[in-house]
Structure 1
Amino acid sequence: MPLLAQMPAPFAATGLKPSFVLAFVLLDLVLIIVAARLCGALARKVGQPAVVGEIIAGVLLGPTLLGPKLFELSNPPDFLHCDISNSPGMAGSEFVPNVSACLFPPQSRSILGVLGQVALIFFMFLVGIEVNERALKGKEKGIGLVAVGAVLVPIALGFAITPMLFNEDFVANFGTADEPSKLGFTLFVGALLSVTAFPVMARILQEKGLTTSPMGATGIAAAAVVTILMFLTIATADGVAKERDLVKILQVWVIAAVYIAVMLLVVRRLLAPLGRKYQETGVLSPDTFAIFVGVAVASGYVADRIGINVIVGGFMAGLAMPEPRAAIWKEMTTRLGEVTAVILLPVFLAFSGLNTDFTQLTVAAVPGIIVLVIAGIVGKLVGGAVFAKLGGLSWAEGTVIGVLMNCRGLLVLVAALAAVDAGAISPLLQLGGVVMALVTTAMTGPLFDATITKVDTPSEAEPQPA
């Protein structure tokens, strides 16, 4: 008898036993890492950032390629225990065995989702440390105007296109008692349109040595504000969609403002002695490292409970790090960067892909998705360029900022998952978010190279922490 057949029964009262869930999680991590590295390498070969390939890898591991339409398993291998892991109540009574579902059972997916959220905390924590605050002084007007424009214009377009999207294809539970309010749905669409891939924007400007230029500093800080406003919009949309009263919705904004103030004014001051100790010794001790990571995780927890997402929590923890920030960024990146970028972030992208099924795309839904993507592009290009000009930059600089603001990266996937979890948008509109992520991220590099040539940039600029 084969060894696998002699293993103890894998089922428990509510599905797979914990030991078998662990086995699937480990197997899934291997599959995700391999797929992400391969697709990321292919993306770089065609001149695209690795994140484009990693998003595609997540989609390919999901039902789009390995689902029942193309890879139905009439007789799944016994060692996958597909009938148990996807039993009624876990995967639904109409479950059809397929490669994706058998390799990524519901219990494993839930753990992958948690790992993905941890990845977002650490990733944005490193981005927050990297922000060069000295480059932002005196640019408050430009930062505020660009941030407002990059959010309000897309939200306004969200209101304009909602009549074309508010139907059974794109609204969750359409026509039922659980149908979200039209205003809540509209705000979620506006949030999808207002997303900016802040980390990608910072990285591009850093590589070009433009982080300390007026354009670069304004764009980076504005992208940070946009990220916070976008998640506040999502929290507001969630409250409106679920018909919470206005007081509770406003409470989120007030609590978020208090939380941000505490992180910047109180937590940073409390961490200052650790920064001075590191500056004196030149060594980031294990205890100090643990405290910094603990602050990031705790901040993620608070942000999640407020309703503004763990990604804001990670970023605010990074901003709260003491001086010397550049040196601390190098230390933390050395210890966290590779694991986060190579292992954990692809897990989040794969989790999003596992919930995206392009085979469900219908001809009737294509026009709506096209409208969504076009509105997203127009909103960012116009909002970024016009409001950057009002903030004191040139039209050429504003155009570059609009191009960078248009890049969605992985953040639009975060927003789409939040909208699905809130019961506001359908998986089909989430699919539209994936399309937007791929299209806008892929077009950023070529458009940036075409528009930056029209900007007068200082020849002596050197790459600096963003």
Structure 2
Amino acid sequence: MRKHRDTIFYILTIGGFSALIYLVILAGQNNLQKGIHVVSSHFAGKDPWTNFLDSLSENVSVSISVLLLQIIIILITIRISGWLCKKIGQPVVIGEILSGVVLGPSLLGHYFPGFFGHVFPAHSLGSIQMLSQIGLILFMFIVGMELNLKSVKNRAGNALLISHASIIFPFTCGVLLAYLLFPLYETKNINFLSFSLFIGISMSITAFPVLARIVQERGIHKTHIGPIVITCAAVDDITAWCILAAVIAIVKAGSLASSFFVIVLAVIYVLVMLKVIRPFIQRIADAQTDNGKLSRSYIAFFVILLLLSSFTTEAIGIHALFGAFLMGVIMPKSAKFRSLLTSKMEDIVLIVFLPLFFVFTGLRTQIGLLNDISLWGICLLITVVAILGKLIGSTYAARFVRYSWKESLTIGTLMNTRGLMELVVLNIGYDLGVLSPEIFAMMVIMALATTFMTSPMLNAIDRVFKNDKREDETLRSGEKYRILCFFENVAAGKRLLNLSNAFVKNRQQESEVTMMYLTSENTMDSDNLEEEERNMFSQVKVEAKRISQEFSPMFALTSEENSRIVKVANDGAYDFLLLEVRASVFDGNLLGSILNLSSQLFHLPNRLINQIFRPKRIGSIRIPNEERILKIISKSEIPVGIFVDKGFHGVKTVFMPVLDEEDAFLGDYMARMASNAYIRFTLLDEVGIMDKSIEFIRNVREVKAVNPYLFSSW
């Protein structure tokens, strides 16, 4: 009885109160509802199934359901397009901008008007716009925190000259272009002053976040032009946003004289933020980061300050985004503090809010309005003027301060990247009524073109100036035996360094070991990347000192890890690629086994193609992450060593099975390890390789020449 006590209590409690509720409702209907006229529901008189379908249709059509469906479609489209752009070596932002155009009236609305009207009805766009504006405010705050004012001050000389030249050249070109466009596309109640200034600033923008990622991903930050180009972009961002604030003030006021008071108020506000608010929040940050965490109360405090700053600049008349950007700029530059704060908001901003902005921009972009060859000619003219203005201005200034032609063109090409920041400016111009729908569409196309061309142009510059001796300090003599080790954590780095040491220990003057670590592009803070690099390599350097092994560190930002490993290995004239495989997320659980089976079925066609056309054998041993390893092996042009850790504590004895005549090449590695680290080898010769390969026999003799004890066979 005691065993069923809880069950009986549950049944009596729920049953008793349910009966009481039923009796009360029944009594109310019989006694209290008399004489009251009850309006019949529109579902009355229909059969239950019809009622259910009508209810379902009504539920799907309410505002929140439409908004949720829009967000789902937007996020899926953004992810797919971003993945495709990664595959062709383009920044993800290209795919995000294209997603907006695809989901807008230019494509989806043109070819599937019914579906477009249901998913993106005109009355629902206000919700997307508001959410995207909140996302932009948070994003501009993060961009502001990326800017290191101390670094800007230290390199202000050349960077200021190059940056301002990269603004004044395209700005002037934009004003000249506005003189031609204004009679054709003037908008109601907008004078030429406002139109020309907005076209000028639209031509002058550089996308600092996109540029910073390209610099990191291509390894330019390791060259001597890396810091200068990052500083140039930072100065460009600060200057451009200050000019934009003034232009917005002039547009809203209608004339230079009327905008005087707005500009004065803006200057006062900037001074208050720098001289009063900044020291105050610095003290708060110092007190909090000592504990290694930020409480929710303090995070709420900083968010309130951010919103107040945005509200103030919007009220002054220079746009809310300027206030968000300024708030980010004055935030304490402690890497720990910024990491704590950005980790709270960065992912949701980049994954959810920014895609809404891209699609909202796409919904405004009506490429169908460019329905005449002359309009496409004007679009081409705008794009060419934007490219030449930015490229010539930056390159000319860089050459003036004595950078080489290759370095100058690289700086000019990077400064020509517009991306997201250009879309922000264009949307502001569209909201103010300065840009007509036709000009807006042309400018969006220009932003796409200038961002898309960055990577191909950098590749072309590298090919044209491939013999430039000044540029690349990482080139090494091809006579050295070069090992590339890819590691994913400090422990793996130490293991691979010890393993590499076994190949080159006694011949370090004739060898070179490169330790490569790759990080994802999700982080937005360049200082955080530097801290991550220090953390990853500090312990590896300690281990290198312990075993007396020199190495060259390689730290890079990438979105496609496998492709980057293969590219570095193939392009770097390495002799051996060594990597440690990590355990698969599929291993060790039932759900993982099911997902692993699904993954293998999905990749089965690629496997069959590789087996037929590109056979690469790794034996019959089951290794973790086999699919990933196979991709690296199939695309690599150099030998690949796969290290699976089973409690590694150093290399003393190696058991080497030879299961195929093609394994004769292992003799070279055996001889190299024996002569450098006195490692003992036990050979399992299943195919009689000692009788068939002269080269392998020569390698065995080299091992025995070092010490006969180092070789034995079964």
Please state which band the TM-score falls in when normalised by the shorter chain. 0.7 to 0.9
Work out the CA distance in 2 between the residues paired with 1:263 and 1:389.
Answer: 37
Write out aligned runs for 1:375-390 (5 A): 375-390=385-400
Pick from 47, 55, 64 the counterpart of residue 6 of structure 1: 55
Q: CA deviation at 1:9?
A: 7.6
The equivalent residue for 2:296 is: 286
Matched-pair contact (CA < 8 Å) for 1:48–1:442: yes
229-238 or 422-431, which deviates more: 229-238
Alignment-mate amino acid for residue 343 of structure 2: T
The equivalent residue for 2:113 is: 72
225-234 or 360-369, which deviates more: 225-234
Work out the CA distance in 2 between the residues paired with 1:39 and 1:380.
Answer: 28
CA displacement 1:395-454 (0-9 Å, x = unmatched): 443322221111111122122222222222211111111111211111112323444775
* SS in structure 2 of the partner of residue 3 of structure 1: helix
Write out aligned runs for 1:325-364 (5 A): 326-363=335-372, 364=374
Pick from 406, 430, 437 the counterpart of residue 440 of structure 2: 430
The equivalent residue for 1:83 is: none
Work out the CA distance in 2 between the residues paired with 1:353 and 1:279.
Answer: 41
C-alpha spacing 1:444/1:255, structure 2 compared with 1 (3 Å):
farther
C-alpha spacing 1:362/1:140, structure 2 compared with 1 (3 Å):
same
CA displacement 1:173-199 (0-9 Å, x = unmatched): 4xxxx3x22232222211211111111
TM-score by length of 2: 0.55
Matched-pair contact (CA < 8 Å) for 1:132–1:465: no
Alignment-mate amino acid for residue 375 of structure 1: V
The equivalent residue for 1:313 is: 323
C-alpha spacing 1:214/1:2, structure 2 compared with 1 (3 Å):
farther
RMSD of aligned C-alpha atoms? 3.0
Q: CA deviation at 1:357?
A: 1.5
Work out the CA distance in 1 between the residues paired with 2:424 and 2:151.
Answer: 29
Pick from 381, 390, 399 the counterpart of residue 371 of structure 1: 381
Work out the CA distance in 2 between the residues paired with 1:385 and 1:313.
Answer: 32
312-321 or 370-379, which deviates more: 312-321
Write out aligned runs for 1:51-450 (5 A): 51-67=93-109, 69-73=110-114, 99-168=115-184, 170-173=185-188, 178=189, 180-208=190-218, 215-238=225-248, 244-324=254-334, 326-363=335-372, 364-390=374-400, 393-450=403-460
CA displacement 1:49-102 (0-9 Å, x = unmatched): 1111111111111111122x42233xxxxxxxxxxxxxxxxxxxxxxxxx3233
Q: CA deviation at 1:42?
A: 1.0
C-alpha spacing 1:137/1:225, structure 2 compared with 1 (3 Å):
closer
Work out the CA distance in 2 between the residues paired with 1:345 and 1:299.
Answer: 20
Matched-pair contact (CA < 8 Å) for 1:206–1:465: no
Give the structure with higher Rg (CA). Answer: 2
Question: Which structure 2 segments of 5+ residues have no match?
Answer: 1-49, 475-513, 518-525, 530-714
Matched-pair contact (CA < 8 Å) for 2:205–2:236: yes
The equivalent residue for 2:79 is: 37
Identify which of structures 1 and 2 has the higher relative contact order when contacts are C-alpha pairs closer than 8 Å and 6+ apart.
1
Matched-pair contact (CA < 8 Å) for 1:181–1:242: no
Q: CA deviation at 1:124?
A: 2.6
Work out the CA distance in 2 between the residues paired with 1:266 and 1:123.
Answer: 24
340-349 or 283-292, which deviates more: 283-292
The equivalent residue for 1:96 is: none
Work out the CA distance in 1 between the residues paired with 2:460 and 2:124.
Answer: 44
Q: Percent identity?
A: 32
Matched-pair contact (CA < 8 Å) for 1:301–1:310: yes
Matched-pair contact (CA < 8 Å) for 1:143–1:391: no
C-alpha spacing 1:373/1:323, structure 2 compared with 1 (3 Å):
closer
* SS in structure 1 of the partner of residue 433 of structure 2: coil
Work out the CA distance in 2 between the residues paired with 1:321 and 1:113.
Answer: 27
C-alpha spacing 1:245/1:143, structure 2 compared with 1 (3 Å):
same
Does 2:68 align with 1:26? Answer: yes
The equivalent residue for 2:24 is: none
Matched-pair contact (CA < 8 Å) for 2:289–2:337: no
Question: Which structure 1 segments of 5+ residues have no match?
Answer: 11-15, 74-98
Work out the CA distance in 2 between the residues paired with 1:36 and 1:66.
Answer: 15
Q: CA deviation at 1:390?
A: 4.2
Matched-pair contact (CA < 8 Å) for 1:59–1:350: yes
C-alpha spacing 1:129/1:117, structure 2 compared with 1 (3 Å):
same
C-alpha spacing 1:229/1:132, structure 2 compared with 1 (3 Å):
closer
Alignment-mate amino acid for residue 340 of structure 1: V
Matched-pair contact (CA < 8 Å) for 2:252–2:317: no
CA displacement 1:140-171 (0-9 Å, x = unmatched): 23233223212211121112222432244x33
Q: CA deviation at 1:237?
A: 4.4
Work out the CA distance in 1 between the residues paired with 2:339 and 2:348.
Answer: 14
Alignment-mate amino acid for residue 64 of structure 1: S
339-348 or 266-275, which deviates more: 266-275
C-alpha spacing 1:299/1:401, structure 2 compared with 1 (3 Å):
farther
CA displacement 1:241-280 (0-9 Å, x = unmatched): 5672423323343333333333333222111222212332
Work out the CA distance in 2 between the residues paired with 1:204 and 1:322.
Answer: 26
Work out the CA distance in 2 between the residues paired with 1:303 and 1:236.
Answer: 12
* SS in structure 2 of the partner of residue 172 of structure 1: coil
CA displacement 1:281-337 (0-9 Å, x = unmatched): 11122222222233333222233334443333333222222242x112222332212
Alignment-mate amino acid for residue 197 of structure 1: A
CA displacement 1:346-391 (0-9 Å, x = unmatched): 1100000001112221222111111100111011111112233445
Matched-pair contact (CA < 8 Å) for 1:128–1:317: yes
* SS in structure 1 of the partner of residue 139 of structure 2: helix
* SS in structure 1 of the partner of residue 168 of structure 2: helix
Work out the CA distance in 2 between the residues paired with 1:392 and 1:290.
Answer: 48
Work out the CA distance in 2 between the residues paired with 1:252 and 1:447.
Answer: 41
More strand per residue: 1 or 2? 2
Q: CA deviation at 1:110?
A: 1.3
Q: CA deviation at 1:343?
A: 1.0
22-31 or 242-251, which deviates more: 242-251
Q: CA deviation at 1:236?
A: 4.6
180-189 or 303-312, which deviates more: 303-312
Q: CA deviation at 1:45?
A: 1.0
* SS in structure 1 of the partner of residue 290 of structure 2: helix
Work out the CA distance in 1 between the residues paired with 2:135 and 2:81.
Answer: 19
Work out the CA distance in 1 between the residues paired with 2:322 and 2:382.
Answer: 25
The equivalent residue for 1:79 is: none
